[in-house]
Structure 1
């Protein structure tokens, strides 16, 4: 395999992995938001309302990732409206790798929320955690010549636990603050 094709294949694998595991973190134990709840009035009146807000936020997040990917990793400022600064920083390396490799994506990522894990209030910040299935079956990776360099064997659907938090204190507008690949039983199959 010529060196340039090999580098593109490697970059495409990195990009596809980054998009399918965007903002992943390790699954090490951490305190839950429930432990830090206060007596403040809830931001969401019900779990159904929290789940609806999470669905809207996750859809907007995936849409922004698709736009940035389709532009070859540029215009990352689009992520400001959908992700925390920590998540945006984590994604920067993946998008820089796309730019270096000269690849871009096409297609739409689909996220399906399976279950609400947590709807909590930490101070005046809503924290909502969900189980989600991330489907990248319709997302392809293309090189600068338009050749499909999507890695063969890439999982089409992966289970994730996604956590979102209020954009600002007391706000029902959620930003993705963490997304980690779920290592337990695959609830997406």
Structure 2
């Protein structure tokens, strides 16, 4: 079995569909170099604004990710609309392995219980619970292969970064390794 496949299956089964809400996130990507002095200015005046923008970016990411895993013929590159290029490369590889295994999903995941970890002028890191209780894992014969003992809510650490302008893109996520806060 390809290296990414066990992780993809585990993620889909735990609801962090594909390596995109990862057991093993990609190596930290270099923060993009600002192109002007304005790029050095903080994007958000408050912690609340930073968290709200990061959660909104992650919700957009989940919508695209869910649509890709649900459709065997989906354009994998659509993930580039909501992620940094480095995380998109990682994600596309995982999507392809998931598809090659004959798996797809049905249903949508959601995020809740978000808490800010930290933010800098161009990066926001936050904790959140990804709810996958409405997501089923289906095999190539459309048989439901969702494990009955999977966790319905997964604790994550999520990174969002502003690459161009003030829109945040998802730059990585990983399953929280400490006590389950969900």
TM-score of the superposition, structure 2-length normalised? 0.79
User: What residue is the counterpart of 2:175 in the other structure?
Assistant: 181
Q: Tell me by how many angstroms 1:120 deviates.
A: 0.6
Contact 2:18 2:91 in 1 (8 A): no
Larger Rg, first or second structure (1 or 2): 1
- 1:128-176 CA distance string (max 9 Å, x none): 01001011111101123221112332221111110110031xx221011
Change in CA separation of 1:73 and 1:95 when aligned onto 2, cut-off 3 Å: farther
Aligned residues: 166
Cα RMSD (Å) = 2.8
Is the 1:117–1:130 Cα contact (8 Å) retained in structure 2? Answer: yes
Deviations 1:80-113 (A, max 9, x none): 1111122122222321222222221110011114
TM-score (norm 1): 0.76
Partner residue of 2:54?
54
Change in CA separation of 1:52 and 1:99 when aligned onto 2, cut-off 3 Å? same
Aligned pairs for 1:19-168 (under 5 A) are 19=17, 22=20, 24=22, 25=24, 40-72=40-72, 74-121=74-121, 126-168=122-164
Match of 1:5 in 2: none
**Which runs of no fewer than 5 residues in structure 1 stay unpaired?**
1-9
Question: Secondary structure of 1:146's match?
Answer: coil
Q: Is the 8 A contact 1:164 1:178 kept in 2?
A: yes
Any idea what SS the aligned residue of 2:173 has?
strand
Residue ranges of structure 2 left out of the alignment (5+ in a row): 1-5, 32-36
CA separation of 1:113 and 1:174: change in aligned 2, threshold 3 A: farther
Contact 2:19 2:94 in 1 (8 A): no
Counterpart Cα distance in 1 of 2:127 and 2:17:
17
- In 1, the alpha carbon distance for the partners of 2:94 and 2:148 equals 19
SS in 1 for 2:20: coil
